[in-house]
């Protein structure tokens, strides 16, 4: 690049000021070779900077494309199922889920979206890691439970007429699939969704810990109808329990089994207490009224 004498004089003035040299020792003619040398060096530095900047931009673009590619890849879904045992699962975000007997939980290998979504069939107790930017959602066949970070229990066995969500700490929002009905729970409250009536109700519990007693292998029946007890035992032991006498379905029973007793022991104790008779063929159990 060529410069006029006037431009060179201006550049020289700046150069002289920076070196504190006497003005008279410099002129455009004598100083031009040195100035041109310095200008060429400056030009090379600018070229290197521009080259590195372009390389960095290309690298950043490649990383962005690769990240987008990884994000668009289908997420691997993990499914954990239990039989006659309980099992605790650690999720990718650090949350833990304890599954009750004959339950299953499906969840992504990594939570990539804004929401942490899992699917439950059966019953599970959740301890969710707090993350306000990524709500945690439990999906069941009929309801969704949304939380930010809390401890709660969801009972969603397919053969139960109700889906129950019990809150121990924090706050959860329970809604049906269409989002037309929504209830926000406080600690020690339970939301009950009736599948037939499609109705969602909320109740306050006196003994909220009873709802998760299954984690210790306990059964607590507090003035429950026999049909509800039969369903709970069926879900826990994978058995089919049929109440032959319709009059017995709403017969209420209070009983507690705290030592992890098996199904045969529980039925025997209830029978000896005078509540009903029963017969068993493998895992097929028929409950009948005691004769007068």
pLDDT tens per residue, range 276-290: 999 988 889 999 998
Q: What confidence score (pLDDT) does residue 72 get?
A: 56
Kindly state whether residues 196 and 268 are assigned to the same domain. Answer: no
Does the global pTM surpass 0.85? Answer: no
Write down which residue in 179, 208, 237 finishes a domain: 208
Kindly state whether residues 189 and 241 are assigned to the same domain. Answer: no
Give how many domains the chain has, as a whole number: 3
Kindly state whether residues 165 and 272 are assigned to the same domain. Answer: no
**CATH code: domain of residue 223:** 3.55.50.30
Kindly state whether residues 152 and 86 are assigned to the same domain. Answer: yes
- Domain for residue 29, yes or no? no
Distance of CA 157 to the CA centre of its chain: 19
Write down which residue in 157, 189, 208 finishes a domain: 208
48 or 69, which is more confident = 48
* pLDDT higher than 80, residue 170: yes
* pLDDT higher than 70, residue 73: no
pLDDT tens per residue, range 221-245: 999 999 999 999 999 999 999 999 9
The 10 Å Cβ neighbour count of residue 58 is 10
* pLDDT higher than 60, residue 16: no
* pLDDT higher than 70, residue 265: yes
Kindly state whether residues 251 and 277 are assigned to the same domain. Answer: yes
pLDDT tens per residue, range 86-144: 999 999 999 999 999 999 999 999 998 889 999 999 999 999 999 989 999 999 999 99
Core vs surface per residue 67-103: b (16+ CB within 10 A) or e: eeeeeeeeeeeeeeebeeebbebebeeebebbbbbbb
Contacts of 230 (CB under 8 A, 6+ apart): 241, 243, 287
- Domain for residue 146, yes or no? yes
Task: Quickly tell me which residue has 């989002």 as its tokens.
Answer: 179
Mean pLDDT over each residue of the chain, to the nearest integer: 84
Domain that holds residue 283: 217-289
Q: What percent of the chain has pLDDT over 70?
A: 74
Calculate the alpha carbon distances from 95 to 116, 117, 131, 146 in Å: 10, 12, 11, 14
217 or 49, which is more confident = 217
Q: Which of 154, 159, 86, 87 is nearest to 123 (CA)?
A: 154
């Amino acid at each position: 690049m060529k410069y006029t004498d006037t431009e060179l004089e201006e550049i020289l003035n700046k150069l002289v000021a920076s070196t504190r040299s006497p003005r008279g020792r410099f002129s455009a003619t004598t100083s031009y070779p040195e100035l041109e040398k310095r200008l060429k060096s400056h030009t090379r530095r600018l070229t290197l900077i521009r080259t590195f900047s372009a390389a960095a931009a290309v690298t950043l673009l490649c990383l962005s494309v690769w990240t987008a590619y990884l994000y668009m890849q289908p997420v691997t879904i993990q499914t954990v199922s239990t039989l006659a045992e309980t099992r605790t699962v650690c999720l990718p975000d650090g949350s833990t889920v304890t599954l009750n007997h004959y339950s299953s939980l499906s969840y992504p290998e990594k939570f990539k979206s804004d929401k942490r979504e899992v699917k439950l069939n059966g019953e599970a107790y959740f301890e969710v890691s707090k993350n306000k930017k990524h709500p945690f959602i439990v999906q069941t066949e009929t309801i969704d439970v949304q939380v930010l970070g809390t401890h709660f229990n969801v009972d969603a066995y397919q053969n139960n007429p109700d889906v129950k969500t019990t809150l121990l700490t924090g706050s959860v929002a329970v809604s049906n699939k269409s989002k037309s009905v929504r209830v926000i729970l406080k600690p020690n409250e339970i939301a009950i969704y009736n599948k037939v009536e499609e109705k969602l109700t909320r109740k306050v519990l006196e003994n909220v810990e009873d709802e998760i007693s299954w984690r210790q292998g306990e059964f607590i029946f507090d003035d429950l109808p026999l049909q509800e007890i039969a369903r709970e035992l069926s879900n826990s032991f994978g058995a089919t329990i049929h109440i032959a006498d319709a009059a017995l379905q709403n017969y209420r029973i209070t009983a507690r089994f705290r030592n992890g007793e098996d199904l045969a022991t529980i039925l025997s104790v209830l029978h000896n207490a005078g509540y009903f008779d029963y017969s068993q063929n493998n895992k097929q159990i028929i409950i009948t009224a005691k004769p007068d």
